Structure formats: C-alpha cells, structure tokens
Chain A
Amino acid sequence: KAGVTQTPRYLIKTRGQQVTLSCSPISGHRSVSWYQQTPGQGLQFLFEYFSETQRNKGNFPGRFSGRQFSNSRSEMNVSTLELGDSALYLCASSLVGRVQDTQYFGPGTRLTVL
C-alpha cells in the first residue's frame, strides 16, 4: 500500500506570496490532519479534514486554510506569507480519525519564506 505523499517536497517563496501544499492520503483513509513543525514551536496542529469537512482547527491565523476533495486528497493554503511561516508542513492520514486508528505521516513539505 502506498504511503502518504506530499507535494511539493520543497518550496521557496517570498513574503507576501501565497502557497498551496498538497497531501494524498493512503487509499481508503478519510481523515487528513495537517501539522506545522518548527524548531522553536515543535509540532503544532493546524487542522483536520474528514469527508470534505473541517472537523478540527488549531490556533493559527486565518491566512492558513485548507480543503479536502471527494477522493480524500487535501490541500492547505497559506496566504500573505510571513518569514515565520518557514517550516516543515506535515500531513497525516487515518481511516476515520478514531483513537484506534493509526495516523500515518507523510514526508513533509519544507517551506522557506525569504
């Protein structure tokens, strides 16, 4: 079974631009969660999507948004990029997001904002 894939793997943007990151979950998984990983703040939850609906949201500004498609693929968008948005963005998928379901993580997208 193919694992979680994320594209692109690396991105360089400048302040003020916007960016879209993509996550393809494991086949059959319907829950997709996004996390931001930085050296200072560690791993922080951004949001979770299940059946095309946002089910949970972390404490991030409205510049961070996401969506999920009918095939469970998910995208996250960051508008008006700031230097502090430089981070590794991870997505994770699970069957339906129950506690018994294992979350499988992708390799991440490394975003650098200049």
Chain B
Amino acid sequence: AQRVTQPEKLLSVFKGAPVELKCNYSYSGSPELFWYVQYSRQRLQLLLRHISRESIKGFTADLNKGETSFHLKKPFAQEEDSAMYYCALLGSSNTGKLIFGQGTTLQVKP
C-alpha cells in the first residue's frame, strides 16, 4: 500500500534551534517524494522535491530508502518557518497523483 506517515502533529522549537520534521513512506517502487508547506492564510506550495537535491529556505531533505524516510531538516529555525508542513509521495509515475501525510505544524517560538 502507498502511504505517507508524519508521526508528529505539532513540533514546537525555539528560534535558532535545529528542526527535523519526520516523514516515513510505504511504496513498492522507486519513490518520488516532496515536501509542501502552507503558511498562514496562504496556498499550499511546494517546498522541495527529492530529485532536485536542493536546499530551499535553508531546508534540506534526504531520501533514506533503507529506513523509508524523507525527513525535513533545518539547522537554525526562524520564526517565519512557522507553518504546516506536508510530506507527499507521487502515487503513480508521471502523473499528478500525490499521496499526502497528515501534516506537521511547526511552531517556532521567539
């Protein structure tokens, strides 16, 4: 079964602290994974995708096939990082079907 699990509903950290948002997936093939973010009163938007191996706004995510994980990390959290973060798996190659995790609210306190 194709599934994405984000075990934490809420992650609260202080500004400047490291952040790790956890994501585990279940997929029989070669997974294509993404992180989406939704800031307050804004649309859901792509943060990063694993095939690009990019760092966006200081965030990185590494695909670990052995642990079936795609955790999102940032070394120093900023208050503007406070948002809802969704991990997503492409459910079918070369189509627009995304399977989302339940989401984690990141709260960065001053």
Decide yes or no whether B98 CB sits under 8 A from chain A.
yes
A33 vs B45: C-alpha distance in the bound complex, in angstroms?
Answer: 14
A56 touches B51 (CB 8 A): no
Q: Choose from B93, B94, B97, B101 the contact partner of A33 (Cβ within 8 Å).
A: B97
Cβ B44 vs Cβ A90 within 8 A: yes
A85 to B107, CA, bound (A): 30
The CA-CA distance from A34 to B37 in the complex, in Å, is 18
Contact B96 A42 (CB under 8 A): no
| Size category of the binding interface on chain A | 20 to 34
Within 8 A of A (CB), among B73-100: 86, 90-100
Report the 5 A-B pairs with minimum CB-CB distance, sorted nearest first.
Answer: A97-B96, A43-B100, A33-B96, A105-B44, A56-B97
Distance (Å) between the CB of B85 and the closest chain A CB? 12
Interface residue total, chain B, C-beta cutoff 8 A: 22
User: Would you list which residues of chain A between 64 and 114 have a CB under 8 Å from chain B?
Assistant: 90, 92, 94, 96-107
Question: Using a CB–CB distance below 8 Å, which chain A residues touch chain B?
Answer: 3, 31-33, 35, 42-45, 48, 50, 55-56, 58, 90, 92, 94, 96-107
Among candidates B43, B91, B99, B103, residue contacting A105 with C-beta atoms closer than 8 Å: B43
The answer for the CA separation of A56 and B93 in the assembled complex, in Å, is 11
Q: Within the complex, which residue of A35, A97, A102, A107 is in contact with B95, where a contact is CB–CB below 8 Å?
A: A97
Contact A31 B103 (CB under 8 A): no
Is A102's CB under 8 angstroms from B51's CB?
Answer: no
User: Is B32 an interface residue, CB under 8 A from the partner?
Assistant: yes
Q: Determine which of A32, A43, A90 lies in contact with B96 in the assembled complex, contact meaning CB atoms within 8 Å.
A: A32
Q: Is A45 a contact of B97 with CB atoms below 8 Å?
A: yes
Bound-state Cα–Cα, A105 to B82, Å: 20
| 8 Å CB interface, B31-71 against A | 32, 43-46, 49, 51
- Within the complex, which residue of A43, A56, A105 is in contact with B45, where a contact is CB–CB below 8 Å? A105
Alpha-carbon distance between A20 and B49 when the two chains are bound, in angstroms: 32
Q: Which residues of A contact B44 (CB under 8 A)?
A: 90, 92, 105
Report the minimal beta-carbon distance from A72 to chain B, rounded to whole angstroms.
12
Q: In the complex, which residues of chain B have a beta carbon less than 8 angstroms from the beta carbon of A43?
A: 86, 98, 100, 103
Given A106-B43, A107-B43: A99 in contact with B94 (beta carbons within 8 A):
yes
